[in-house]
Amino acid sequence: MIDVVESLKDRTGQPYRGLCSDLELPYSSLMRWKTRRKNGHAAVDRPGPQKAEPLDLSALYDGIRGLRHGNKRTGGSGTLFKKFKKQVSRRDFHAMVQTVRGEIEGEKEALERRIEWLVPGLVWAMDDMESVWLEKYRAFVLLAHDYGSRYAVGIQGDDTKPNGLMTAAMMERSFNDAGMWPLFLKHDRGSNFMSQEMQEVLSAGHVIPLISPRHYPPYNGGMERAHQEIIRRVDHLLGDEKADGRTFRLACELGRHQVNHMCRTSLEGLTACHVFEEARPFMQAVGRKQRREAYEEIEALNIDIVDELGEDTPKAHETAFRYAVETWMQLNNMIRVTRNGVVLPPFYQIRSH
């Protein structure tokens, strides 16, 4: 249950108290379980006889995810319980069904919410992925992408998983090649992105790091689509044969060139390269003073949102900062947030909790 609540918290950004209220789970019980597990003890000792078989939690979770979930009821749960009745009590099974149903509802709500990035060059994202393109090793692709223009700012293909130094060097090279620095760089909590080397590069350019949670479609969807575009291009260029390192790196660069010069309906028929180039004078004019003022305004919003969340934890502060950045960008007409086609006001996601 603790893992399910943690996953749901990552997906929705809600504080523990809010999640416990939604799940009808006592907040004090959750905190007690977390403390016991942190100290190396079982989260809870169940009363009564123990189940005859060990619980395969992953299989049970996957089974529940595959049920027919409605707003208040879940079809097929009785049949699934019969399969696991020797492993889990009926009470715990139905509690988990309710938790997963809420999790899926949260995902649907997130998918209905969209962020439109209005200012090219303002927000970049960085992420890595791996595949099997090479002859003897795993293939890794590190990609830097601008949200507003859909421009692939930089790419690096290698047979080594990128560490902090490699990632920072690639990011600095992308900044220099572009001739400008974004105001925000979005990334996840990968060790290479959270490294000291990476933070030094961002600090030198007065770029504000924006840490995105896992499974958060409004922030991560654009980056995932950018990676898929590159993957399709590299697949086409390499064909069915495994490549050597040099050929793989060339395919990555050529794939980047191709996606940057596609005419896109979303850009009114222009290419990502054209839109990104037009953004250069604006972003080059955003100097240290403007970046410092933006950060101070975001920090002020951050304090207000932490108070609204009512939870003083590192994750709560991270969530609040993400919401503060989003609110600041909405107030400055840099993004548009919609749900089902309706424009949402700033601070909506906090006030709706």
Phi/psi of residue 340, nearest 5 degrees: 55, 40
- 335: tokens are 């993004």
Rg, the chain, Cα only: 23
Domain harbouring 124, CATH code: 3.30.420.10
E strand or H helix that includes residue 75: strand 74-75
Residues 58 and 187 in one domain: no
Q: Which amino acid is at 216?
A: Y
DSSP 242-253: -B-HHHHHHHHH
Tell me the longest C-alpha to C-alpha distance in the chain.
71
Domain finish residue from 51, 81, 112? 112
Task: Compute the distance between CA of residue 281 and CA of residue 19 in angstroms, rounded to an integer.
Answer: 45
Structural domain span for residue 304: 287-351
- 236: tokens are 């086409």
Domain finish residue from 96, 112, 128? 112
Task: Compute the distance between CA of residue 249 and CA of residue 159 in angstroms, rounded to an integer.
Answer: 10
Residues 44 and 76 in one domain: yes
Residues 134 and 264 in one domain: yes
Task: Compute the distance between CA of residue 107 and CA of residue 12 in angstroms, rounded to an integer.
Answer: 8
On whether the pTM is more than 0.75, the answer is: no
Burial class (CB in 10 A: 0-12, 13-18, 19+), 327: buried
For the chain, the domain total comes to 3
Residues 292 and 274 in one domain: no
Residues 132 and 223 in one domain: yes
Residues 280 and 336 in one domain: no
Residues 304 and 246 in one domain: no
pLDDT in tens, the chain (353 residues): 667 667 666 666 677 777 676 666 777 777 777 777 776 666 555 555 555 567 777 788 788 888 888 777 888 888 888 888 888 888 888 888 888 877 766 655 555 567 888 999 999 999 998 887 777 778 889 999 999 999 999 999 888 889 999 999 999 999 999 999 999 999 988 999 999 999 999 999 999 999 987 655 555 567 778 888 888 888 888 887 778 888 889 999 999 999 999 999 989 999 999 999 999 999 999 999 999 999 999 999 998 888 877 777 887 888 889 889 989 999 999 998 887 667 777 654 544 44
CB neighbour burial string for 81-90, b if at least 16 within 10 angstroms, e if fewer: beebeebbee
Residues 96 and 218 in one domain: no
